[in-house]
Every structure is written in C-alpha cells, then in structure tokens.
Structure 1
C-alpha cells in the first residue's frame, strides 16, 4: 500500500510537469494540487495513451508545473521521458522553468 501511494504521487507529479508549457491563464485562478493529476495515473502506469480527462487536468494545472518542478519530491517523478510523452500526446509543451 505504501508503494501504491508513492507511485500515485509520482504519477501526479509527472502529469503536472507534462502539462505546464508556458501558457498562462489570466481569467481563472488555479489551486496547485498535484493530486488533481490523478486521472493521468493510468497513462503513467501503462503504455496506454492519456485519457481526455488526464489531458484536461494537465491543461488546468499547467500554471503550477514550475512550482511542481521546484519540489524535489515531485520533480523526480515528473521530470521523466514518460511524463514528456504524456504532455506531448496531450498537446502540452514540456515546461522550461
């Protein structure tokens, strides 16, 4: 169970990193919560492509990605080739923070 929680955190962090590309949303405030990226877990844990919900959550959390990358606990999971693949599949550039 502990391993599953750790994997879940990794997946969420990865999804967050993948989502952030540089665009900012001016009209809406976003609460930065890496757990919002949990719909991306299936894509992180398997070779399946990300779901529409995953891509939507990545786009929603995009303003938070640099914050997630600055957190060493989250960064080690989101700064991976798989996270970059998911972001690319969702049409989100990998962030340059």
Structure 2
C-alpha cells in the first residue's frame, strides 16, 4: 500500500470524526459536516467532485460559514481545494 493512500485515508477518517462531533442545526437544514464526507477525496486529492459530493455541498450551503468559523473544521473547509470543489459544484462558498 502506498504511504500517500494511507495518509489520505487517515485524513478522511479524521475529517469524518471531527465533522460528526460538530453537528448542529441552522436554517431548517440539519448542519452535519459528516454529510460532506463524499467530498473528502476531492478535497484531499484535488480530484473532480462526484455528483454525491456536489449534492451534499448544495444541501449544506447554509452551514458552510458555521463550519468555517469552527476551529476544528476550519482547517478542512477553508482550503483552496475545498473552495475549488464548491465552485466546481456551482455552489461557491459564501462570504463569512
């Protein structure tokens, strides 16, 4: 197994765990950052986002500022790749 694969899987696992702990409710949307897990590969490897990823980003758009203001999540969602993924999905990050 390649070391980069192991690192990516560890990052994805950590992301899911952190995102699960930060679940909150806002604007009648269940803000659950764990729902963005379909985007983990696209964010960590700069691969194109999947339709499932884009669907989740659009669903979680009202929560993106909340995630960016969370010190545990900010390092995952406030990255150039995360912004590229959101833009590719037609859901650019809001100004927070």
Q: Same fold (TM over 0.5)?
A: yes
After superposing on structure 2, the runs of 4+ consecutive aligned residues of structure 1 that deviate more than 3 Å are 7-10
Give, in whole Å, the separation in 1 of the partners of 2:17 and 2:64.
Answer: 14
Normalised to the residue count of structure 2, the TM-score between the two structures is 0.72
Larger-gyration structure (1/2): 2
2:92 aligns with 93
**Structure 2 gap segments, 5+ residues each:** 1-5, 20-26
Query: Which residue number in structure 2 is paired with residue 20 of structure 1?
Result: none
The answer to which structure, 1 or 2, has the higher relative contact order (CA under 8 A, 6+ apart) is 1
More strand by share: 2
Structure 1 unaligned runs (5+)? 13-25
Q: Could you say what the CA RMSD is over the residues aligned between the two structures, in angstroms?
A: 2.4
TM-score with structure 1 setting the length: 0.71
Alignment length (residue pairs) = 81
